[in-house]
Structures are given as C-alpha cells and as structure tokens.
Amino acid sequence: MSIIETSGLGKRYGKSWALRDCTLEIPSGQVAALVGPNGAGKSTLMNMAAGLTVPTAGTVTVLGGEPAGSPAALDGIAFAAQDAPVYKNLSVRDMLHLTRNLNRRFDQRSAQARLADLGIPLGKKAGKLSGGQQAQLALTLALARRPRLLILDEPLAALDPLARQDFLSTVMTAMADDGVSVLLSSHALADLERVADYLVVLSGGEVRVAGQVDDLLAGHRVLTGPAEAADQSAAQLSTVQVKRAGAQAHLLVRTSGPDDPVPPGWEAYTVGLEELTLAYLRAPGTPGPSLVQHTQPTEVAR
C-alpha cells in the first residue's frame, strides 16, 4: 500500500512553479526521506500531502487512496513543522489539554508517559524548554493523535547532535510500536542515512530520483580511473556525475547490477546515500520520477 501517491502533482504561485509534474508512490511502514535545497519544493509537497495546500495540477492521495485534505485523511495524519509549533506561554500540561480538546483522538496517557521518560516537566512553560525539548513536545503531541502517517518538515534543523539522535530514536520507536509511516524532510544527510528506507530527491521543484534506498544504492556505483579517459567512459555509461581530481576522475554511474562490466583501467566502488544524493542534486538535466525512468546528461565537474 502507498502511504502517499501523487500523479502529475504541481503547485504554482503566480508565474512560478514551486513543484511540478511530481509522480510518486511512497510505500507505507517506512521512513521516507525528502531531500533537497531550500526552495526545492519539499514543504510544498508536504503541505499538499497534509491537505494544507490545494494543488494547481495533478492529484495526491494518502493512506492508501484517501484524497489529501479529506476528513479521513486529516484524521490519520499528524504534521509537525520546522518551528516546533508550541505556544510559548502555555505550560506543557496546557499544551496537552489544548491538543486533546482539538482532536477527536488523543492518547493522553501515552503522551504523559513519553514526556516523563524524556524528563520534560508538565508544569514548565513551553517557551522555557530547550530547542530539543520543544521538538520532542511537538513530536509527542503529534504521536498522541495515533496517526498512520507522520509528516515532519525539517524537525532537526535547530537541534544539536544529541537532540537529533534522541528525536530520531523517538520516531523509530513510534514506527516499531505503532506502525507509523514517516515522511521526513531534512538537510542532515548523515542522520537520514541511518534511518531512511525510501529516498526522494527534489531540486528546482522537480523529482530528481526516488526509490527504495537499498535499490538505489545497489543500482549505482562509483568508478575511479584516469582523468583523460573520463569523457569517453562517461559517454558510454549511464553517468550521473563526473568529478576530476588531478590525474584521477570519479564517475557516479547507474548500473543494472553488480555484474555489470567495469571499463578497462577503472575500479568500481559502492556508493553511500550522502554521495548519491549530492550527485543528483548537482546533476543538471531533465529529472525523472524513478531510478528506471531517470535519464540525465553527464555533468563534468572541473
């Protein structure tokens, strides 16, 4: 089942497209990482999936086919934005009370237990909590709604390394215990490499590559060889990016499997998620929605 499915999805503000021709099928029960530079269309995609923004073009469904923004969809989605949406002058206890009264379903007991485990006092004002504690409070309030889909827009941006680790640990525990699916937008590629099952790379309002992380990594490799042969070899392969460093060149190429032949004079290495993501963000050309459909001209980085 797809937790989010889009077809030709687009959003235009005036004459500018924030997102266009976005076609995705994000599977349920996983952490889907949404990666891209500022202005790539990540928040726009998340807002449309959450039903907060109406598409200009195309369609988006969630939770196995519910129209985004429909009552059934809204009841099954929890959304937490980058700025940890808490009322600074309310106590943690008041935040629990307010959120419980605004939602049809709210697990007060589990929320209080989670906050106790995190050492967050109920009587303290939300504005007096640390950045990490505010993020955890926002996450706790979202999870207490017992969502099927948790959408997190840059929740790690203002957190230190320990707070990021604690936050992601809470997310992974919720997935294991409650079967929550997660769409997580972040610039912290090293953190995403530890938790992501599915990857969507956006740039310029378009999908550059999308797929299961294991499949994407298995379908790419780095070739290292002589710089003078880089252009010729790149032209013969399905090349995403070429980088030169002195007499040596590094090619990130798509492969059909580990048995693909290696050109004479070149050595093949596996690729990591961060290296793969950055290569697609830097590569020019017409983006495509999936590994199979994706074709781009070669970029030569000098």
Per-residue pLDDT tens over the stretch 14-56: 999 999 999 999 999 999 999 999 889 999 999 999 999 999 9
288 strand-pairing partners: none
- Which has more pLDDT, 285 or 260? 260
- Do the beta carbons of residue 153 and residue 43 sit within 8 Å? yes
Quick one: pLDDT at residue 113? 93
Q: How many whole angstroms separate alpha carbon 70 and alpha carbon 64?
A: 13
pLDDT range class, residue 297, cuts 50, 70, 90: very low
What 3-state class would DSSP assign to 69?
coil
Average pLDDT of every residue of the chain: 88
Calculate what percentage of the chain has a pLDDT beyond 90: 70
pLDDT range class, residue 285, cuts 50, 70, 90: low
Q: Which of 72-81, 120-129, 277-286, 292-301 has the lowest mean pLDDT?
A: 292-301
Q: Which of 82-91, 143-152, 204-213, 241-250 has the lowest mean pLDDT?
A: 82-91
Quick one: pLDDT at residue 156? 81
Calculate what percentage of the chain has a pLDDT beyond 70: 93
Question: What would the mean pLDDT of 247-261 be, rounded to a whole number?
Answer: 89
91 strand-pairing partners: 125
pLDDT above 60 for 291: no
- Do the beta carbons of residue 155 and residue 167 sit within 8 Å? yes
Question: What would the mean pLDDT of 78-96 be, rounded to a whole number?
Answer: 86
pLDDT tens, residue by residue, 152-209 = 998 887 788 888 888 899 899 988 888 999 999 988 888 888 899 999 999 999 999 9
Quick one: pLDDT at residue 284? 66
201 strand-pairing partners: 35, 209
pLDDT above 80 for 110: yes
Quick one: pLDDT at residue 298? 33
4 closest CA partner among 77, 53, 54, 75: 77
What 3-state class would DSSP assign to 98?
helix
Question: What would the mean pLDDT of 141-153 be, rounded to a whole number?
Answer: 94
Quick one: pLDDT at residue 81? 79
Q: How many whole angstroms separate alpha carbon 37 and alpha carbon 42?
A: 9
pLDDT above 60 for 70: yes
79 strand-pairing partners: 151
pLDDT range class, residue 293, cuts 50, 70, 90: very low
Interacting residues of 119 by C-beta distance below 8 A, sequence separation 6+: none
Q: Which of 46-55, 132-141, 196-205, 286-295 has the lowest mean pLDDT?
A: 286-295
Q: How many whole angstroms separate alpha carbon 5 and alpha carbon 61?
A: 5
Give the burial string for 46-70 (b: 16+ CB within 10 Å, else e).
bbbbbbbbebeebebbbbeebebbe
Quick one: pLDDT at residue 86? 79
Domains of the chain from N-terminus onward: 2-213 (3.40.50.300), 219-301 (no CATH)
Amino acid identity of residue 50, one-letter, is A
pLDDT range class, residue 257, cuts 50, 70, 90: confident
